Amino acid sequence: MLAEIITIGDEILIGQIVDTNSAWMAEQLNREGIRIKQISSVSDNREHILAALAEAAMRTDIILITGGLGPTKDDITKKTLAEYFNVGMVLNLDALTNVENIFKKYNRPLLEVNRKQAEVPENCEIIVNNNGTAPGMWFNEKGKIYVSMPGVPFEMKYMIEEAVIPKLRKALKLPVIIHKTILTVGEGESFLAEKIADIEDSLPANIKLAYLPKMGQVRLRLSGDGDNEAELQRKIEEFAVKIIDRVGINVVAEEDIPLEKVVLNYMAHRGLTLTAAESCTGGYISHLITQHAGSSQVFLGGAVSYAYELKESILGVKNETLWQHGAVSEETVKEMAEGALLNFKSDYAMAVTGIAGPGGGTEDKPVGTVWIAAANANKTVAKKFTFGNKRLQNIERSAVAAFFMLITLLREDGM
């Protein structure tokens, strides 16, 4: 079964916002065995929206539309859908009640533009928006399903999970698609490809391997389709095991999860605690960890020690270490990790200090020089990395390398 995603809004086309909705929707639909044929972003323009709807309906059977449902004048999706289906608009009482309740809850006056949000094309079934004022709309016309949703991510996500997926499951009989992802860290795409070339060549026609590189990580994704779910699952597992054996220590997870979640899951399971001492990553490692629910079980906290003084006062790095070796050095990063361990009383600690750039480099320590450490009560390991000259990349790469170093230390302890 094929679907297409159409995102409507000039803000995507002028680059003011990144379209994160489509990736999320694609992932949800894939799990249900619905492949996304194309994602198209078009402007808040009547002709363009009409053309995109017609093109999508020629390619696919399910058309998911986001955006252009706000109360303001630049939002024209609703009336354009009515024109596309050649129907009039009606006031939907469920949608109106929802709008009224939201304004009552926040104790705000209900404006005429908000009342208008309850008007919808007369051929749609509405999807109540529990998180906002614009209703979702479900159309079933000439054998095609169209769903129009708000562009605000959490409003759309709620609708997809609570209404759209259950309705699609009911309306369609879906084929089996299985993905298996292997997360690797520390080796490049072409090195991995060469290493597993013969395994890749031996894949049957219904199973494909994709390489998904991202900042020091490569995800290897096996995707298969078929009628017999158990048989397909078995085949994919068989090839996954071959790849995992071949790639070896660079495999850190046999499922599609973020790198930091590999660490969190393991440490939570073992009742271990973690802290972080961050200089050049500036809170990014802590943020990666704490974005996950339940992270407080493992992560006690940490220091963002940007200034010299904070490295001393919070982490207990010795003044003479900073003075003799500099903030970006093996000695300093080790004292940072050990200081976090001691002062924050955790089982493990990570520390990062480096020159993220674009300024601050010297001949000895150019931009991209980063020292990373991981420590537990028995051992502190530290390693120097030389990344590039882009600030955000250096921050992201440092975080990846720090998690990999922590995993290596956890493995020595039996992970």
CA 143 to CA 205: how far, in whole Å?
Answer: 31
**CA atoms in the 13 A half-sphere facing the CB of 208:** 6
Residue 326 beta carbon to a second copy: minimum distance, rounded to whole angstroms: 15
The residues pairing with 280 across neighbouring beta strands, listed in sequence order, are none
Cβ proximity to a second copy, 123 vs 233, nearer residue: 233
Q: Identify which of residues 80 and 295 has a Cβ nearer to a second copy in the complex.
A: 295
Q: Is 28 or 233 the residue whose CB approaches a second copy more closely?
A: 28
Query: Cα–Cα distance between 123 and 351 in angstroms, integer?
Result: 59
Q: In the complex with a second copy, which residue's Cβ is closer, 25 or 407?
A: 25
Task: Identify which of residues 57 and 152 has a Cβ nearer to a second copy in the complex.
Answer: 152
Sorted by sequence, the CB contacts under 8 Å of residue 301 that are 6+ apart come out as 275, 276, 286, 344
Closest separation in Å from C-beta 87 to a second copy: 26
Q: State which residue, 140 or 343, has the beta carbon closest to a second copy.
A: 343
What's the full length of the chain, in residues?
415
User: E strands within 68-135?
Assistant: 89-91, 119-121, 125-127
What six digits make up the tokens of 54? 């017609």
Residue with smaller CB distance to a second copy, 86 or 107 = 107
The answer to whether the beta carbons of residues 215 and 245 sit under 8 Å apart is no
Phi, psi of 54, deg, nearest 5: -65, -40
CB contact at 8 A, 334 and 375:
yes
Which residue's CB is nearer to a second copy, number 109 or number 414?
109
Q: Are 410 and 379 in contact (CB under 8 A)?
A: no
Smallest gap from residue 347 Cβ to a second copy (A): 13
**In the complex, what is the shortest distance from the CB of residue 120 to a second copy, in angstroms, rounded to a whole number?**
18
The residues that bridge with 139 in the sheet, in sequence order, are: 146
22-36 burial, b at 16+ Cβ within 10 Å, e below that, comes to: beebbebbeeebbeb
Smallest gap from Cβ 82 to a second copy, in A, equals 21
Minimum gap (Å) between residue 163 Cβ and a second copy? 17
- What is the closest distance, in whole angstroms, from the C-beta atom of residue 412 to a second copy in the complex? 26
Cβ at position 177, least distance to a second copy in Å: 9
- The single-letter code of the amino acid at 64 is L
106 CB neighbour count, 10 Å cutoff: 7
Q: Which is nearer to a second copy, 140 or 393 (CB)?
A: 393
Contacts of 15 (CB under 8 A, 6+ apart): none
Residues 6+ away with beta carbon under 8 Å from 191: none
Closest distance between a second copy and the C-beta of residue 314, in Å?
6
What are the φ and ψ backbone dihedral angles of 36, each rounded to 5 degrees?
A: -85, 120
